[in-house]
Amino acid sequence: MAKHFTIFGNPVQHSISPKMHSFAIEGLSLDATYDKTLLEDGTKLKEVFFENKLDGANVTVPHKEIAYKLCDEVRGIAKDIKAVNTLVLEDNKMIGYNTDAWGFYQSIKEYDAKDVLILGAGGTSKAISLFLKQKGIKVSIINRSSKRLKDFKDFQTFTWDSYHDSYHDMVINTTSAGLSDDSYPTPKDLLDKILSNTKTAVDVIYNKNTPFLQLAKEKNLKTKDGSDMLLFQGVKAFNLFYHDRFDEKDIEKFMRKAF
């Protein structure tokens, strides 16, 4: 029987997930479709999931937290992150997972960082910081304001004002600075200091040379954007849809064509 998948989001038009998953479906000769669903009211997510007879789905902004609450069961690190990006139908239940954090780790593990500094304290930062900590990596967080830092009780945290210099193997930008504007994620003089004290700079924003990455390149650091994170979260989600039936290297090979 043909399987049906979608991505829920608002907006969702820009999403590259349908392209990634369709390449994997085609490459692995499967009978399935993957489309986009614009969902304005996140509280309707579960109803729509069952009404549309979906076998699985991905969830993007701003619905990851509501999706977590609506699942019949949540598995793995999604329970700690309290947000899901992947839904799988199992015995008529909607099961939730989070593959964002795994995808991020997969994309940076080649650098073998032991100590990282994360810029920003939103949902993406929370997912990444929890996962990296579980992998034994020392994680510190720096954010513009102190309010969201309350969610990071088990981490060393700073605001721009309280930050003091120290070396980190890697600096990761999870703020939206540089996404639709040309701003730095911290004031320029502070970012100069931070980037002078590391080897590698990673941005979760993809397909864009953000001001953050540009400054890191000027300082001759190793740099990486968010494309591989996006790719690997998709690889893992796809295999969850198919109950781990495939070799992740094969899925990756086909999904890469979307970039």
Give the residue numbers annotated as catalytic, written as ranges.
Answer: 64
Name the one range near ligand ATR by CB under 6 A: 15-23, 36-44, 144-152, 229-237.
Answer: 144-152
- Total Cβ atoms within 10 A of residue 83: 24
Helix ranges (H only) for 62-110 are: 64-70, 78-81, 100-108
Q: Say if residues 199 and 216 touch (Cβ distance below 8 Å).
A: no
Site for ligand ATR in 83-122 (CB under 6 A): 120-122
What does the alpha-carbon distance between residue 89 and residue 85 come to, in Å, rounded to a whole number?
14
180 binds ligand ATR (CB under 6 A): no
125 interacts with ligand ATR by CB under 6 A: yes
- Beta strand spans in the chain (E): 3-9, 32-38, 56-59, 73-74, 86-90, 93-97, 115-119, 138-143, 156-159, 170-173, 200-203, 222-224
Q: Does 222 bind ligand ATR (CB under 6 A)?
A: no
- Quote the least distance from Cβ 55 to ligand ATR, whole Å: 27
Reference 111, options 212, 254, 228, 206; nearest CA is 228
- In angstroms and rounded to an integer, the radius of gyration of the C-alpha atoms of the chain is 19
Helix (H) or strand (E) holding 131: helix 123-134
Task: Candidates 9-17, 177-185, 209-217, 237-245: pick the segment binding ligand ATR (CB under 6 A).
Answer: 177-185
Closer CB to ligand ATR, 114 or 147, in the complex: 147
Specify the stretch interacting with ligand ATR by CB under 6 A; choose among 33-41, 104-112, 143-151, 232-240.
143-151
Q: Which stretch binds ligand ATR (CB under 6 A): 24-32, 171-179, 223-231, 250-258?
A: 171-179
Rounded-to-integer distance, Cα 120 and Cα 60, Å: 19
Give me the sign of the Cα torsion angle 198, 204, 208, 211: negative
Residue matched to tokens 């998948």:
5
Closest contact distance (angstroms) between CB of 33 and ligand ATR is 28
- Of these, 13, 29, 145, 180, which contacts ligand ATR (CB under 6 A)? 145
Nearer to ligand ATR, 157 or 239 (CB): 157
Q: How far is the CB of 146 from ligand ATR (least distance, A)?
A: 8
# of chain residues touching ligand ATR (CB under 6 A): 16
Q: What's the CA gap between 212 and 177, in Å, rounded?
A: 9
Per rule CB under 6 A, is residue 11 in the interface with ligand ATR? no
Q: How far is the CB of 71 from ligand ATR (least distance, A)?
A: 19
What is the contact surface with ligand ATR in residues (CB under 6 A)? Answer: 120-125, 143-145, 148, 174-177, 183, 185
